[in-house]
Amino acid sequence: MHPEVDLTKAADQCVMCGMCLPHCPTYQVSQHEAESPRGRISLIKAFSEGQLTASKALETHLQSCTGCMKCQQVCPANVPYQNIIDHGRSLYRKKLKRSSRLLQKMSILVLTHQWGHQLLALSSVVVKYLPLKNKAIRLLKLITPRSKFETASDNQQSITILPGCTGALFDQQTLTSIVKILTRLKINANTPSKVMCCGALAQHSGHLQQAEQQVATITDYLSQHKTTEFVSFASGCGRQLNDHVADSRHKHSDIISWLANSTKINSLNFESLTQQILVHMPCTLKDKERNNVIGLLNLIPNIRLLEFNDGISCCGAGGMQLISPEDSNRALIDCKIDTIRTLQPDVIVSSNIGCSLSLQLGLQDAGLDINVIHPVTLLAQQLKH
């Protein structure tokens, strides 16, 4: 999954042309070379060759990359930036003290493992009514209780939903909405009984072996349950699953794409909605997937859609930046909140849970009472009885 990379050789593919600069969100808000893809490539190369030592400044520049991969998409030299940043972070982690590495791995495990979710759920009950402003504590208050649902056993078609770790922890509302729509379409929805992570958090934090183990867990589950078709509903998870799990035996779709490509969706009727809906497009969505989001939402009669026009492609929450953001990541969410304050939508929709959580925390800081939900949740809310 993550073969060893010659960082010097990979970095030398970059000709420093700068075509990536206007597409990099952290460079857009900072105008700092070290916050750009070519800047990070230079830092990683120097670090791998022993010309740089581990430092807080180096860690900040490696950490702040949101993994949007806009740079890789526009690079004329096909520089493998994803591999460079992942292995660069992995190399940096190996230079840290053993206690620091262990703490990072444990933090990821808490977010991605069954027992970790149980611990966080208990903690959320304790802190729910405490006026604490720490970002990690505020995230605990957004944990959603696990949903229980049943679908008709006589449905001829069934599909497996993988909520992922963050979806299972923070977005049970979307899972319930998906089941509601699938049930209306006479499709059984199956979900794993335990938490399974796609490996993205570990991979983008430099813990590549941990990410491989998590991907293997999903692959084994799909094989054991003879699942040929499965869906996810967080676009960040979707990209990871497409890259590392989906193959000829296991066909994967994001729920947005799955519904948009289903002929059955036209059998549903939706209540009219006159609210203004601001559509946030996560940077993990491809152009076709973005069109699918708009197409599905337009099934709702009289809906009024707004889109972000700030020229910033990312909200800054990629990877672990939601929990421990750097200055560039904070500046990115501030740009989004400024746009929201100007447009004054009634509801915001986003198809990535990391982005949704980041927007919710930003709205709280700004004193704006606006709900952030998944596009499928809005569809489920507007279904005619």
Q: pLDDT tens, 279-336?
A: 999 999 989 999 999 999 999 999 999 999 888 889 999 877 888 889 999 999 999 9
- If you ran DSSP here, which 8-state letter would residue 383 be given? B
Q: What is the DSSP letter of 342?
A: H
Helix (H, G, I), strand (E, B) or coil at 373: strand
Report residue 364 as tokens.
Answer: 């709280």
pLDDT number for residue 3 = 62
Of 298, 278, 282, 302, nearest to 290 (Cα)?
282
Question: 33 and 43 in contact (C-beta within 8 Å)?
Answer: no
- The pLDDT assigned to 8 comes to 94
CATH 1.10.1060.10 domain span(s) along the chain: 7-95
Compute the residue count for the chain. Answer: 385
- HEC letters along 179-199: HHHHHHCCEEEECCCCCCCCC
Residue 210 to residue 97: CA distance in whole angstroms:
18
pLDDT of residue 277: 98
- Residue 269 burial (CB count, 10 A): 12
Q: Tell me which CATH code domain 7-95 carries.
A: 1.10.1060.10
**pLDDT for res 371:** 97
Quote the pLDDT of residue 251. Answer: 93
What pLDDT is attached to residue 79?
A: 97
- What is the CA 2 to chain-centroid distance, rounded? 20
Q: Take residue 334 and report the two structure tokens written for it.
A: 């501030």
Alpha carbons 371 and 349: distance in angstroms, whole number: 8
- pLDDT at position 69 is 94
* Delimiting residues of CATH 3.40.50 domain(s) in the chain: 268-381
The pTM assigned to this predicted structure is: 0.92
Residues of the chain below pLDDT 50: none
Give the rounded percent of residues in the chain with a pLDDT score beyond 90: 72
Q: Supply the DSSP string of 224-261, one letter for each residue.
A: HTT--EEEES-HHHHHHHHHHT-SSSSEEEEHHHHHHT
Q: Does domain 268-381 bear CATH number 1.10.390?
A: no
Query: Do the strands 347-350 and 304-307 form a parallel or antiparallel pair, or are they unpaired?
Result: unpaired
Are the beta carbons of 241 and 254 closer than 8 angstroms?
Answer: no
Q: Cα dihedral sign for 184, 188, 193, 199?
A: negative
